[in-house]
Structure 1
């Protein structure tokens, strides 16, 4: 329990450090509201759970040791973060945003399809941006043994890894809720363009940093 408490403190600090997940959830919440932002958070947490389970069961070690596979995941992450960054920067340059009250004329079926599309798109971006970040898998492989040692059982490793995924989900859902409540101010055209430019630049920076790391 002492090790678990220490790990939770460490995990909270790690979760609070802004990174690609923060940028993706921010981008999606500002673009389409809390619903899409929340699903982006769910995608990130889902990927964390998958990578944590892979590390706990030994699959993560295999992935890291197969260098071509690990490099493929890394460069897929570089490309995807760059793609999201370019999207945000292009949005800032165009400066064309729908009003918050838009879409009121849609019928129920159209509104449902729009909501489903926003949910799926948000989840996909959150999941892909995280699952293609090899640093997440390396984190689980490198950090968990520091708290548990080398002889921990798979169920214990899973509890630790899934606790980090849960903390990440709670934090990102809180972020999406806060951004949604402030959206009336944050989605003013001038403010939104600045946020899109900042978010896009951050995503491009994360992409470049991931490309440079070994």
Structure 2
């Protein structure tokens, strides 16, 4: 694998990273609900999941999971259910419009852990992430790739994702004075909820079409 190939992968991964998806919605919601620390930990959770799935793909377990259709299907539906649940929470929050006066500034270890858990679970149950590592990464590798080469690409993608999500959380944090306003929070929660439900519904529809 040449440096030119690695650079091409980084460019491709960067473009893929900035396209809004479930990770974007989950991290944004955590940053809004719990502040900068919780948002950052949600981003760490997403990147941790990317790293795990990258290593799984590198050692060959990913292909086994995909080949075991009942297991892979169960993972898909678990991810769909989790996205719908997170979306429902956001919509309920928008409907109630009840927010702490400090905007979530008073954080504790439990809030950080909740952020990490949501980021990790939303990503680890997204079947498209594992498929990305199994189908896309080999396009940037030589015909007979080594384990470390696949691991480098996978971990590079995880690091890029973490950097982008950290930037996202920083932007949300800097705009906190505006975002703490109740009408704005309700609108953002509503938009995030619709996005999460939409992602979950799209994945569910795709799964039903494939099963038909």
Fold equivalence (TM over 0.5): yes
Aligned mate of 2:132, from 120, 134, 139: 139
Instruction: Note the residue ranges of structure 1 that are not aligned, 5 or more in a row.
Output: 104-110
Map 1:1-214 onto structure 2 (within 5 A): 1-100=3-102, 114-213=107-206, 214=210
Alignment check: 8 A CA contact 2:34 2:103 kept: no
- TM-score for the superposition, normalised by structure 2: 0.94
CA distance in 2, matches of 1:162, 1:67: 26
The number of residues matched between the two structures is 205
Which aligned runs of 4 or more in structure 1 are off by greater than 4 angstroms? Answer: none
CA distance in 1, matches of 2:43, 2:138: 27
**Cα deviation, residue 101, structure 1:** 6.6
**C-alpha offsets along residues 132-176 of structure 1, whole Å, 9 cap, x if unaligned?**
001000001111111114411000100000000000000001100
CA distance in 1, matches of 2:67, 2:24: 29
Cα 1:29–1:52 shift into 2, 3 Å: same
**Cα deviation, residue 187, structure 1:** 1.7
CA distance in 2, matches of 1:211, 1:87: 19
Instruction: Note the residue ranges of structure 2 that are not aligned, 5 or more in a row.
Output: none
Query: Over aligned residues, Cα RMSD in angstroms?
Result: 1.3
- TM-score for the superposition, normalised by structure 1: 0.93
